[in-house]
């Protein structure tokens, strides 16, 4: 079964606050985009990669990741994934993997694909939540302490049968979601979990980039 990975890389990186879209920020020797795409190919379980980038970064992306197909993303992440799906051709299995997770280890990518090959139609890598989590009201007053044992932090790549992902996106034409499995859940699909990895951390802020620099130096 052909595996295509879609790499959303069309965000602006507002919270990181540099003067270049986040996927094009360099971590040591390579951009986040190059690291994410190279990591997917290096896993050995991905046949093809489609990256979605801002319209003015198409040429740059083609230089950086010549093995990938490059398409224009959209205003929201959901729009970018939609654009990627339209370019996914007849892939049977689809991974969606944020460029913002450049240090994702190969075994984690393999676990997601193995669960799909084992019959799951939607798979997400997760980690336990270390902090105590509370729900608060609009004034910041605590309403409840959520049972941490039931919670998981969710990473990417998330994996889907092409049918399940296409159906979930078709069922929610105008909806936004922070992750793709959320749309599958809304469409009534079953989402299974596999162990994530702290190295698959998402770079959102300048602090995250500092941590990632240290980790990248260790593995350089
Ligand atoms: N993304 C995308 N298209 C968008 C928005 C986000 O492809 N319209 C991608 C980002 O490039 C990133 C991933 O989705 O790889 C996760 O999004 P996020 O971490 O929020 O990145 P940005 O949207 O770039 O950052 P910010 O929200 O701080 O602007
Ligand atoms: Mg964003």
Q: What is the CATH number of the domain that holds 42?
A: 3.90.550.10
Question: How far out from the chain centre does Cα 54 lie?
Answer: 16
What are the backbone angles phi and psi of residue 144, rounded to the nearest 5°?
Answer: -160, 155
Give the ligand with the smallest distance to the CA of 21.
1
Q: For residue 29, tell me if it sits in a domain.
A: yes
Tell me the pairing of strands 93-96 and 3-8.
parallel
201 lines ligand 1 (CB under 6 A): no
- Low-confidence residues of the chain: pLDDT under 70: none
How far, in Å, is the centroid of ligand 1 from the Cα of 144? 30
pLDDT at 94: 98
- For residue 31, tell me if it sits in a domain: yes
Does 142 fall in a domain?
A: no
Between the CA of residue 88 and those of 73, 169, 190, what are the distances in Å?
Answer: 13, 14, 22
- CA–CA separation, 78 vs 206, rounded Å? 24
Q: CA nearest 193: which of 131, 136, 108, 134?
A: 108
With respect to residue 204, please indicate whether it lies within any of the assigned structural domains. yes
Reading the block at residue 68, the tokens are 């990938």
Do the domain assignments include residue 35?
Answer: yes
Show the domain range for 184: 3-122+155-218
Residue to mutate, 9, 11, 15, ligand 1, most ligand atoms under 8 Å from C-beta: 11
pLDDT for 150-187, tens place per residue?
A: 999 999 999 999 999 999 999 988 888 889 999 999 99
pLDDT value of position 126: 98
Domain count, the chain: 1
Give the residue whose CA is nearest to atom 17 of ligand 1.
11
Closest atom of ligand 1 to CA, residue 16: 28
Q: Is the CB of 197 under 6 A from ligand 1?
A: no
The token pair that represents 110 in the structure block: 């393999």
Q: What are phi and psi of 204, to 5 degrees?
A: -115, -45
- Which residue has tokens 């989590």? 133
Is residue 164 in a domain? yes
Q: What is the pLDDT of residue 175?
A: 81
CA dihedral sign of residues 23, 84, 4, 93: positive
pLDDT at res. 173:
83
> How high is the pLDDT of residue 176?
82
Q: Identify whether 211 is part of a domain.
A: yes
Distance in angstroms (rounded) separating the CA atoms of residues 19 and 14: 9
Residue 137 domain flag: no
């Amino acid at each position: 079964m052909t595996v295509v990975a879609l790499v959303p890389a069309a965000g602006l990186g507002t919270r990181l606050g540099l003067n270049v879209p986040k996927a094009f920020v360099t971590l040591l020797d390579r951009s986040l985009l190059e690291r994410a795409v190279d990591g997917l190919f290096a896993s050995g379980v991905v046949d093809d990669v489609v990256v979605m980038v801002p319209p003015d970064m198409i040429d740059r992306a083609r230089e950086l990741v010549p093995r990938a197909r490059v398409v224009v993303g959209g205003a929201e992440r959901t729009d970018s994934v939609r654009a990627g799906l339209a370019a996914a051709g007849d892939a049977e299995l689809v991974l969606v993997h944020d460029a913002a997770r450049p240090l994702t280890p190969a075994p984690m990518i393999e676990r997601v694909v193995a669960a799909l090959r084992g019959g799951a139609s939607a798979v997400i890598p997760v980690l336990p939540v270390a902090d105590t989590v509370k729900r608060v009201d609009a004034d910041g007053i605590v309403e409840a302490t959520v049972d941490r044992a039931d919670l998981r932090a969710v990473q990417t790549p998330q994996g889907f049968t092409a049918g399940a992902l296409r159906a979930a996106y078709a069922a929610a034409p105008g909806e936004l979601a922070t992750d793709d499995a959320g749309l599958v859940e809304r469409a009534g699909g079953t989402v299974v979990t596999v162990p994530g990895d702290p190295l698959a951390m998402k770079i959102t802020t300048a602090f995250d980039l500092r941590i990632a620099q240290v980790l990248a130096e260790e593995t350089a």
